[in-house]
Amino acid sequence: MLTGILTTLALAPVVMTVRQVVQTQSDYNDISALRRAMNFIERDLQSAMRLAPNVITITDHESMGGLDDDTLMIMSSSPTVQNMPAGTLVYKIIEGGILHGNVIQGLYRWVLPGKTPGNVDVEALEPKDAQLVLPDVKIFGVEIPNGSHEDNRQKEYSGKLPDGIYIKIGRGNNDNDKNEDRRNKIESFIVFP
């Protein structure tokens, strides 16, 4: 019995270390996945059609719990990489569940060749026609800066390519745990030259 107690005491730090390593790997994978999704969106934004009169459309929306659930539409040359005419790319969160045909919740991307953002009915877009960019996304916020403060950002926008754009992607919720916030959400400011 004494040997069992000593073995348990000796193995307890090992078990805790293994748990911490697994948690660290999970956190790294979450941040890495969020960064890859942000890079994907940034590439699409960098290929925006700069001379078009209506390049970007942002629709502000909040889902239950006050989470950002915006829609981003970009008139882009990205479809030409797939031998399609330039068109609109749409980024939007689809909530999973029975109401959406058992679709996985996450951030989705639609490629609509030959369409301008003004000709896209976002509500009519089907998840089956989209590409899942990142599963389990619950926060997708897009804003155009008007000044130096967060309060001066436009949440709704339609028009030419702005000087820059703020994008926030997250898998968590809007709780006050700063460590949880860092692991599950990233923000980026993309500047257009």
DSSP 15-49: HHHHHHHHHHHHHHHHHHHHHHHHHHHHHHHHTB-
What pLDDT, on the 0 to 100 scale, is given for residue 142?
Answer: 93
- Phi, psi torsion values for 188, nearest 5 degrees: -145, 145
Mean pLDDT, to the nearest integer, of 91-102?
Answer: 76
Give the Cα separation of 137 and 110 in Å (integer).
Answer: 16
Q: pLDDT tens across 142-176, in order?
A: 999 886 666 678 889 998 988 889 999 998 654 44
What pLDDT, on the 0 to 100 scale, is given for residue 174?
Answer: 47
What pLDDT, on the 0 to 100 scale, is given for residue 140?
Answer: 93
Enumerate residues 6+ apart whose C-beta is below 8 A from 190: 42, 45, 46, 164, 165, 167
Strand order in the sheet with 131-135: 131-135, 106-113, 87-94, 71-76, 56-59, 157-159
What pLDDT, on the 0 to 100 scale, is given for residue 176?
Answer: 47
DSSP tag of 78: G
Nearest to 142 by CA among 73, 51, 65: 73
Q: For the CA atoms of the chain, what is the radius of gyration?
A: 21
Helices (H) and strands (E) in the chain, counts: 2, 9
What pLDDT, on the 0 to 100 scale, is given for residue 177?
Answer: 47
**Do residues 144 and 165 make contact, with C-beta atoms less than 8 angstroms apart?**
yes
